Amino acid sequence: MEEVIQARGHEHVSADHASTFEVTTDDYLTPAGDCILAIEADRSPADFDPGFVAACQNADATITVTIEADGYTESVSGHGHPDLELTNERSAVGRTSDYVDDRTIMVGAEFAAEGFDRDLVDALADGAEATVTIRVE
């Protein structure tokens, strides 16, 4: 099962955050948003299919987020959690920790924003269009 988000990078994408990564529907990004990889997302967790959300609530589920932009691709895997709501209407956040709020789409991620391929990050910083695929198994 998967959900796909279309978004774009921004000149302030730095991908320096050590514990989270984020994709947002916001149309702006400040330098302080060091976990944000893409903006102007066409969908948020609140738009996800209820069956997808239910699958993510299984603690044994593997959730993989793949970001593609300008010929570069990076995937990061984590797992589900019974408390995942996926109800936020603005942001989708992957976390290396087990913290859960309404923005959280995965916990226990292998790495956060700082672990993403630097060529991909550079493409996003140049404003590249991005496809974000969230898969749950």
> Residue 89 — pLDDT band, cuts 50, 70, 90?
very high
Q: Quote the pLDDT of residue 62.
A: 98
- For residues 117-124, give the mean pLDDT: 98
> Residue 17 — pLDDT band, cuts 50, 70, 90?
very high
> Residue 1 — pLDDT band, cuts 50, 70, 90?
very high
- Give the residue extent of every domain in the chain: 2-136
Superfamily the domain 2-136 falls into: mth639 domain like (2.60.120.630)
Condensed to tens digits (0 to 9), the pLDDT of residues 97-116 reads 999 999 999 999 999 999 99
Of 21, 44, 43, 40, whose CA–CA distance to 29 is shortest? 40
> Residue 96 — pLDDT band, cuts 50, 70, 90?
very high
Q: Quote the pLDDT of residue 47.
A: 98
Neighbouring residues of 131: CB distance < 8 A, sequence distance ≥ 6: 4, 5, 6, 67, 68, 69
Condensed to tens digits (0 to 9), the pLDDT of residues 19-75 reads 999 999 999 999 999 999 999 999 999 999 999 999 999 999 999 999 999 999 999
Q: Quote the pLDDT of residue 128.
A: 98
**127 neighbors 52 (Cβ within 8 angstroms):** no
- For residues 118-137, give the mean pLDDT: 98
